[in-house]
Amino acid sequence: MDGTSTANVEHAEELKLLANESFKANKFSQAIDLYGQAIELNGHNAVYWANRAFAHIKLEEYGSAVQDATKAIEIDPNYSKGYYRRGAAYLAMGKFKEALKDFQQVKKNCPNDPDATRKLRECEKAYQKIRFEEAISANDTQRHSVADSIDYHSIEVEPHYAGARIEGEVVTLEFVKKMMDDFKNQKCLHKRYAYQIVLHARDMLHSLPSLVDISLPDGHHFTVCGDVHGQFYDLLNIFELNGLPSEENPYLFNGDFVDRGSFSLEVILTLFAFKCMAPSAMYLARGNHESKSMNKIYGFEGEVRSKLSETFVELFAEVFCCLPLAHVINEKVFVVHGGLFSVDGVRLSDIKSIDRFCEPPEEGLMCEILWSDPQPQAGRGPSKRGVGLSFGEDVTKRFLQENNLDLVVRSHEVKDEGYEITHDGKLITVFSAPNYCDQMGNKGAFIRFKCPELKPGIVSFSAVLRQVQSSPRRCGVAHAHAHAGRAAVAARPMPSRR
């Protein structure tokens, strides 16, 4: 369809208006579909492509956003919104050099626009910082573990400190309850105990293989949670609904504990504390946000620096490299943050042998584990995120058959009900951050498996009151960084109507 007839042009405009309404209602998938229908009728309108790019950005589908924004620029090389949207997508992907070029073009086209000026300065600052850090890293040929330089025993706890305390070396349930209660009331944990928790968790995680086998006796149950993203009060709600972690009530949190939400530090300290209290009560997998590059962009680095110190920033980066990449429950359920692989024939032994003690690479098995997504069509396709790939039902079924498994459980994507069952029931996506980013309106969910059947029992839940969750922190430092990542992604649209 050439999209040139008057009827097509008029219908496309009607679809665009419907898409705009869906966008305003935070129904971004619906908006993408409607913009797509408009594009089919009139593919020569740059606005449609740029608007769809913005909707892709809202769903963190940055690869697709870059493609759509590029198409808008091809149609109209002077269309500033095309450059703005593409720059925002590149910025969210950590591709600062590419983003800088686009925001420079926006500034050239709109020299008096304050938002364009702000984004350009933000991008220039980020790019300069990355280049500086790369220069330092290149000259530092003998990097030492920051964990080895920390002696938490020597840190004095002031007499006036009234928060949770670890007596000796053992993290107890009483301590964890007190710590969570303090966090709930927006009180701080002393850095001595924060160091103790993170260092002990590091030792435990470091000793694990890249793929962890979990064995459960008959009659027992096991809970898998998806992304939490710093939503501490929703984490508390999960424990309220499903019980605190214990050896009789074990959990697996499937990556993306941090970033986006304002209380990522409280989330990760709570999960690590339960791991220290009872290793078989808390299993933790790495997500794509447990990495330096993501933490710089999406808020965790700034939050940790604000609430604790630069040393803790380095320590968390080191500990995140110790997180296992996948888990298998009773030799039947494969649990991984992102998804499957660009090649067939990957065995569980291949995953177990991955050297994970590094920042995630841009390709290969480790990258795909953290970044891939399922797709409805068969085969494999490019990633809508710009990293990893998309894989179909046939890929899932072959992987399960080759490894004598029954089910893939993954996270990584927001879903309206907190979960989605796809690939003929062989793949479940679970996402545990309700009303993600304070705007998506989605539910959260977790999955309870009972042995020996391992039939997934899915529980959906709504977000807790958000005015508590997103309030600023104290600790003597204004919490200016909590939403920095969110703002960096594209936040405000450029002035003018869509």
| Residues labelled as active-site residues | 289
**Max alpha carbon distance in the chain (Å)?**
79
Q: Tell me, what amino acid is at 67?
A: Q
d(CA 79, CA 154): 59
Chain mean position to CA 189: 25
Question: CA nearest 294: which of 306, 285, 286, 282?
Answer: 286
Cα 487 from Cα 88, distance rounded (Å): 10
Residue 416: how many other CB atoms lie within 10 Å:
14
Q: What's the CA gap between 214 and 197, in Å, rounded?
A: 23
SS3 at position 403: coil
485, 299 contact by CB (below 8 A): yes
Which among 266, 294, 276 is positioned nearest to 198, based on CA atoms? 276
Q: How far is CA 158 from CA 152, 162, 192, 476, in A?
A: 14, 9, 10, 16
- Token pair, residue 391, equals 């894989």
**CA–CA separation, 212 vs 284, rounded Å?**
10
Which class for 465: exposed (0-12), middle (13-18), buried (19 or more C-beta within 10 A)?
A: exposed
- Residue in 327, 389, 325, 328 with CA at minimum distance from that of residue 357: 325
Number of CB atoms found within 10 A of residue 2's CB = 9
Q: Are strands 389-391 and 373-374 parallel, antiparallel or unpaired?
A: parallel
Strands 407-410 and 333-336: parallel
Nearest CA to 282 out of 171, 358, 184 is that of: 171
Cα 182 vs. chain centroid, distance in angstroms? 26
